[in-house]
Structure 1
């Protein structure tokens, strides 16, 4: 069955009735539905009553000129396309019409061969505006749906993690009691089994704690302000040095630009990235960590680089997913939640986070905060 294409509805406004009627009668009826008025107020009433695709208005009219009419019409329908008709084809006329939002203008007396191409261009713009408006509406609706789904997922994650903590604590507690009270009486086999239960339970507790921290990020409001990022980096480095006081780790901190953000959350990003740098340089004879920052294209970009274990870039797409680990747990401890938390914080600031690495040669983590 052939698709029915609706005619383009054109609102023709000219205070000279003969001119208005002549134009309405001249426009091809198979393609256009022309509706004519000699008064701007009557034309606006029609626009409020029914859809129109294009306004074709005379520039000079008593009571309401074409530019005033066009502005009022676009308040009713912002996607309406306007063309101004004039017998005074000066540059000033064209400029004023364009300033008022007109797409084009045509001169009197009319030549159909000139008018039709102008109308077609204007209607193409009208269709593009409507398609863009529809797309924007669909994006808004989809964004709202995704935000609601994310909130539900975060609430579900929080609820599940919170509910799991109680029975898991009982399991770990009983295992610990058995070890403390009866380990000396057991042969090696049962003792190892209970020890494995306790170790696995403690690991699961750490995973649950990470899941709770991740779910809380979605509900925690941002408290933005000026952040001295350089001072924050040095504070975190000093804290990590105290935790790793038996190691000699060289840390170079360059010029770090300040930014605007949530200081507590950005501190957590730096803690997670720098803690990883300290951890994954553990096997290096001369561990080296470098922190730099710069301003580029409206963003403050920060980089934490190390000469540690690195990772395979073919797995980089999984890097910031929760509970993803690229190294064996017997080599490097952790739950795989830290980078996911860092990524969530940066995204909530409207920024980006990414990494480059090479196995055995270290990694560099970057994140940006918009100005």
Structure 2
């Protein structure tokens, strides 16, 4: 074998990291997002080009992470979590305030540290349970809860309910997959229900309580906060079976739907492609989650299994919460639709998550060969 063949084999090995089923699903979701963004961004010059740029960056990040073995990723768990929590503390002390929320930090460039914890928290918890494998005790689940509660509490204080939910789900998924008993899970569920009145009265901000009230009856503030939900539901309902057709949605192009290139892009899609389009998109996300759980179930180590499972649940939560708030069954919390909504930070984070799934699957195959 000459040098050219050796170089070719090395280059080829870098691109064999992509899991075929996951890659096909990602391609279909991103393509659907590009088509929808073209229509939704007609009134925003350059929005589609920026969205394409974000996709390219996310793909590059995904490729880099997919080439990193899970054992190497595990080494980043503690430092990444520590840096993330430190930045959240810095945000609480002297972060930038926009629209009444203190979520950003200027470190030469403006960053949102809470995004780091979507990956850093499950990474940290997976590392912790890997270290405790074979000797898990109740106190270990207690320590894991503290590891989860610190960043979740700091993010909730900003306030940022949407990111708090995503970070909490990512962390709790690791704890659950690590072996949390159904009996204890049932007890926690009962405790959570019992504490709802306290959460409602003391932990939620006025605007957050208002959002929940609006979810149950948007007409109580039909010309205020409820207006956007009403218009979103009108857009979804008017799509009918087959939709109004690409670029023919009226609610978005007449500016009735707010943030229709970001949080409410699914309303644009559902208006233009209807119920059949909804079945197609939901099926893509469902298959993506199923594939992620299959990768998790077949992972060779506890760390990779927990990490892959948590990342998969992040995608499920993103899609479920976004579509739920658009159709009015969940309060509006500002969660983007994976790989479809405009937004660079979220796109890169999601690309990193996909890279983790592909890394787990690829290096499992290498271990078997």
What range is the shorter-chain TM-score in? under 0.3
Of structures 1 and 2, the one with the larger relative CO (CA 8 A, separation 6+) is 2
The structure richer in strand per residue is: 1
Please, what TM-score do these two structures have when normalized by structure 1? 0.25
The structure richer in helix per residue is: 2
Please, what TM-score do these two structures have when normalized by structure 2? 0.25
Rg larger in structure: 1
